[in-house]
Amino acid sequence: MDRDPRVCVFGEDVGHYGGSYKVTKGLAEKYGDLRVLDTPIAENSFTGMGVGAAMTGLRPVIEGMNMGFLLLAFNQISDNCGMLHYTSGGQFTIPTVIRGPGGVGRQLGAEHSQRLESYFQSIPGIQLVACSTVYNAKGLMKAAIRSENPVVLFEHVLLYNLKERIPDEEYVLSLEEAEMVRPGEHITILTYSRMRYHVMQAAKTLVNKGYDPEVIDIRSLKPFDLYTIGNSVKKTHRVLIVEECMRTGGIGASLTAAINENFHDYLDAPIVCLSSQDVPTPYAGTLEEWTVVQPAQIVAAVEQLCQ
């Protein structure tokens, strides 16, 4: 916002309250009420306003207080945000960032615990990224704001409390590159967002058992970084996908199809995908855990794949 006066923020409680998860804390005092605009509880209205603002030259960052609430703005995101560059014959660009918390929290109930990545992945004209660390959250956010394309940035509700030392100098990450988290030889584990931490927890156990997993945070959910993924598959010949998205029609299903289409000849075993169960997320804590992939399941899947 210092660098580019066209950047503005819209959303519920993003102003003097600082956002429901304090992501915009202090911005209203620094940049004023017009650049950090508190909106009514009307996702379809302020998302549509953001698309219009982008068409006229601004670079809005639209916050959904919860990604589930953005279902109310699905028409604006799909029919307007994703398509207007095409349907206007290139007359308009839509440099918009749509961001907010999603995923399964801790007993937030079904409506506040949705995994909607694949809903947005299916929209033509939208780029989709998921941050997982302090470092990549900043780098991907900057890249998304500077992109000429509409970008949906998924933040996980349980990762806001992460702390990490990041460079003082400016850096911007690619919106289309995966991150090699841990090089390995025996199996490729593809993951993103909060599941990165479940995978790395499982990796410690696997190393102690003699396995050498390669862990990749895919980060870009659309398009997939098939260069990085493909090189890993050619090396390990085995793939495990770990996601928090739903099993039916999730990110893992799309990724499985992409790997089978492009790298089938390099696979020595069928691709295994561990996903959340196809049920509304229960409120009860013990039941909630059962719906999400846990580290022990990842260990068991790797042992089975590497037999």
Catalytic residues: 43, 112
C-alpha 177/C-alpha 221 separation (Å) is 10
CA angle, corner 84, sides to 69 and 192, nearest 5? 50
Burial of 52 by CB count in 10 Å (0-12 exposed, 13-18 middle, 19+ buried)?
A: middle
C-alpha 291/C-alpha 280 separation (Å) is 9
C-alpha 118/C-alpha 275 separation (Å) is 12
**Residue 129 main-chain phi, psi, to 5 deg:** -130, 155
Structure tokens that stand for 170 in this block: 């400016």
Structure tokens that stand for 50 in this block: 């953001």
C-alpha 190/C-alpha 115 separation (Å) is 17
3-state secondary structure of 15: coil
C-alpha 302/C-alpha 288 separation (Å) is 23
Are 274 and 297 in contact by the 8 Å Cβ rule? The answer is yes
Going by their DSSP bridges, the two strands 179-182 and 213-217 should be labelled as: antiparallel
**Residue 19 main-chain phi, psi, to 5 deg:** 90, 150
Are 128 and 222 in contact by the 8 Å Cβ rule? The answer is yes
